[in-house]
Structure 1
Amino acid sequence: MAPLRTIMTRDLVTASKQASLKEVAALMADNDIGNVLFMDADKLVGILTDRDIVVRAVAFGRDPGALAVDHATADPFTLDADTEISQAAAQMGERQIRRLPVTENGKVVGIVSLSDLSNRARGDADQQALEGISTPTL
């Protein structure tokens, strides 16, 4: 099977750690994306998804002017660009994540989404791993 580098999106959108929820939501809308990365120089310090904005901020009546990074997943799980797609699908299913930052030599070089994986799922094992991402654990 192919490595993550063959399916990852290389055009990453980052936001300042000073950006508000409203600014980040607008950035997502302007770029037609569902996540934004927060960086400290070359180090990934957080990821915020459109879903995070809804369930971690809007659902609790947070001020749209609040810092977006405060609602982000800090130190998100990443995998190397050479990781096999099937391994990534299994890890995403196990960890219940829908977007996976991809690294090379410790630097973020891309991102893989659930839809990237589902468009390329080849075998039963891949499909089962993908189904596990969207299925809540009890």
Structure 2
Amino acid sequence: MTGPPVVLEATESLRAVATAMSEQDIGAVLVQDGTRLAGLVTDRDLVVRGLAAGLGPDAPVLQVTSKILVAVGPDDSVATAVQVMHEAAVRRVPVVHDGAAVGIVSIGDLAVSLDPDSALADISSASPND
């Protein structure tokens, strides 16, 4: 699990989300609408659902956010996370405890945990490109 996650308000602009991703060197941010976890947005969402769709940098991030349909808890097993991700066909799942996001599990995290000698594990554990 990667944690703690960056969580931004649904009304934040696409530019603010992209800036947070750049500053934190991350590719996904959780989005909340008030006290409710509303979804997850990735750098790809910003490009495909935002820029390519003609949205401007001041558009609210909720417009490009993937709605969260699944989550896991911090005490759930790796096998449970794999099953949830497989069934929902997603690459990242929020980790939620008592209604609050405490992390994100990615397919790369699972590769590092389950198959540390795999190419995906090597890529996922490598330092980011500059």
Verify same fold: TM over 0.5.
Answer: yes
1:17 Cα deviation from its structure 2 partner: 2.1
- Match for 2:71: what amino acid? T
Question: Quick one: percent identity of the two aligned structures?
Answer: 37
Count of residue pairs the alignment pairs up: 116
> Which whole-Å CA distance do the structure 1 matches of 2:69 and 2:41 have between them?
10
- Residue of structure 2 in register with 1:25 after alignment: 18
| Kept after mapping to 2: 8 A contact 1:78/1:102 | yes
Is the contact between residue 42 and residue 108 of structure 1 (CA under 8 Å) also seen in structure 2? no
- TM-score, normalising length: structure 2: 0.78
What root-mean-square deviation, in Å, do the aligned CA atoms of Structure 1 and Structure 2 show? Answer: 1.9
Deviation of residue 104 (structure 1)?
1.9
Unaligned runs of 5+ in 2: 119-130
Structure 1 segments unaligned to the other structure (5+ residues): 1-7, 128-138
| Equivalent in the alignment of 1:134 | none
Match in the other structure for 2:87: 94
Question: Which sits farther off after the overlay, 26-35 or 86-95?
Answer: 86-95
Aligned residue number for residue 49 of structure 1: 42
Aligned residue in 1 for 2:114: 121
Equivalents in 2 of 1:98, 1:22: separation in Å? 23
CA drift at 1:41: 4.9
Q: Which has the higher contact order (CA 8 A, sep 6+)?
A: 1
Partner Cα distance (2:88, 2:68) in 1:
14
Which of residues 74, 82, 92 is equivalent to 2:75?
A: 82
**Contact residue 81 and residue 104 of structure 1 kept, 8 A:** yes
Q: Could you tell me which residue of structure 2 aligns to residue 66 of structure 1? A: 59
How far residue 29 of structure 1 moved from its aligned partner, in angstroms, is: 0.6
Q: Which residue of 1 aligns with 2:123?
A: none
- 1:110, distance to aligned residue in structure 2 (A): 1.3
Q: What's the CA shift for 1:49?
A: 0.9
